[in-house]
């Protein structure tokens, strides 16, 4: 290289060691590559002995997936001039069955061996697999993938981290949500009004003569789904226990400073409030001909001849739909007779999900949530990039 540069009159200048900003493009590209490779190893619980294979596979995938600005196309398409095929790709590290087609088999020799998928061949249309019995990597096309089999690494190899140490440090104790909703928290005391764990209502000793185990209905003719909201829902619940609270600020009795209030109905932030409201609503719906879902305790079903009315409850938000519009109108009237309701109309937004109801189906998105997150972290003005995806391929 030095001789070539001297012949061409090229002066070579080296970047200072450990000075990333002098070689920003290459260093940023290397960071993207290494972080993805490290994540794949950690996710699959594979040892670091596979670092070369996972780095090569990561580079192979990123060249066919990541979009390069300002061309707005992948590196592969820039170099080859055509869109790459992605249908043959498989998860790195998944279990494979390698069929023995090379060696001469004896009568009792195995026709296949177990292994791991570790990459793609650059010289042929074959896969690179790690054969467990020989502990070497080979290229083979006669394999069968088992993508749903969990990865279990053999003992004796060096792990990327200490799995046992991580497991011991985990905290499995239930936590109670205080001021903010947490989907991962196991709420023990119904303390979160916005996101209560309604699944815990299954502990209620309610019984019904009807079950939905074998229910079948033609929901292709389901009318537009409607949404309603119960005003001050928790105040309709009646608590069975005797609960006393201090006199709230601004409502003190000047003649009885040392007295407390006795709670007659459920209040917000009271642990028993969600349960009391659910019990009140449950009793009312069962009394009016509904029966509760066997699996989903917040689903209520009412049948009328060949038509069906479905009601889904989430705390004080209620969505419902029916194969017959008159059933929806009757349910809405029935709820207004018992509770103070606000009719929101056609179901368009629920629990952070945007819903569009069309003739050919119901479409769910989270555009508002994504825009909120982008605004929160200052990413509204950054350049966007599209990610190619195989069309007409089932996601599950």
Q: What is the pLDDT of residues 43-92, one digit of tens each?
A: 888 889 999 999 999 999 999 988 887 788 888 999 999 988 888 999 99
Dist. CA 285–CA 335, nearest whole Å:
9
- Which two tokens mark 165? 């140490």
What mean pLDDT do residues 89-101 have? 90
- Mean pLDDT for 163-182 is 38
Strand, helix or coil at 287? Answer: helix
Indicate the pTM of the whole model. Answer: 0.41
Architecture of domain 201-365: 2-Layer Sandwich (3.30)
List, for residues 249-277, the tens digit of each pLDDT value.
877 778 887 888 887 777 777 777 788 87
Query: Of 352, 298, 304, whose CA–CA distance to 320 is shortest?
Result: 298
Domain ranges of the chain: 23-152, 201-365
Q: Are strands 243-245 and 127-131 parallel, antiparallel or unpaired?
A: unpaired
Strands (E), the chain: 67-68, 73-74, 95-99, 112-120, 127-131, 136-140, 143-146, 226-230, 243-245, 261-263, 291-292, 299-304, 307-314, 317-322, 341-346, 349-350, 353-358, 361-365
Cβ(119)–Cβ(132) below 8 Å: no
Strand partners, 120: 127
Of 286, 289, 266, 287, residue with least CA distance to 276:
266
Q: Identify which of 157, 40, 145 has the alpha carbon closest to the alpha carbon of residue 95.
A: 145
């Amino acid at each position: 290289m030095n001789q070539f540069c001297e012949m061409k009159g090229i002066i070579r200048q080296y970047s200072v060691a450990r000075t990333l900003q002098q070689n920003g493009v290459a260093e940023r590209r290397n960071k993207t590559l290494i972080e993805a490779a490290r994540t794949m190893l950690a996710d699959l619980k594979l040892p670091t002995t596979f670092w070369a294979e996972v780095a090569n596979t990561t580079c192979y995938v990123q060249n066919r997936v990541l979009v390069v600005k300002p061309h707005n196309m992948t590196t592969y398409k820039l170099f080859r001039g055509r869109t790459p095929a992605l249908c043959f790709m498989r998860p790195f590290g998944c279990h494979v069955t390698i069929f023995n087609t090379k060696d001469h088999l004896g009568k009792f020799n195995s026709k296949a061996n177990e292994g791991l998928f570790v990459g793609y061949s650059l010289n042929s249309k074959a896969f690179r697999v790690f054969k467990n019995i020989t502990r070497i990597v080979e290229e083979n096309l006669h394999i069968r993938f088992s993508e749903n089999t969990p990865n279990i690494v053999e003992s004796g190899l060096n792990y990327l981290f200490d799995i046992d140490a991580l497991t011991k440090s985990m905290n499995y104790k239930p936590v109670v949500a205080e001021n903010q909703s947490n989907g991962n928290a196991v709420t023990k005391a119904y303390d979160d009004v916005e996101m209560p764990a309604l699944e815990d209502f299954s502990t209620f000793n309610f019984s019904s003569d009807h079950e939905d185990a074998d229910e079948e209905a033609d929901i292709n003719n389901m009318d537009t789904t409607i949404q309603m909201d119960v005003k001050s829902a928790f105040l309709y619940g009646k608590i069975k226990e005797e609960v006393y609270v201090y006199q709230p600020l601004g409502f003190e009795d000047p003649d009885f400073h040392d007295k407390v209030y006795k709670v007659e109905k459920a209040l917000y932030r009271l642990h028993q409030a969600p349960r009391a409201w659910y019990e009140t609503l449950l009793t009312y719906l069962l009394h009016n001909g509904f029966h509760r879902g066997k699996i989903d305790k917040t689903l209520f079903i009412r049948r009328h001849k060949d038509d069906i009315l479905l009601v889904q409850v989430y705390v004080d938000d209620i969505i419902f739909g029916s194969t017959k519009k008159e059933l929806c109108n009757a349910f809405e009237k029935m709820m207004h007779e018992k509770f103070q309701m606000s009719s929101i109309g056609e179901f368009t937004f629920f629990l952070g999900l945007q819903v569009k109801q069309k003739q050919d189906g119901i479409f769910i998105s989270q555009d508002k949530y994504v825009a909120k997150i982008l605004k929160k972290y200052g990413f509204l003005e950054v350049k966007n990039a599209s990610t190619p995806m195989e069309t007409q391929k089932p996601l599950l």
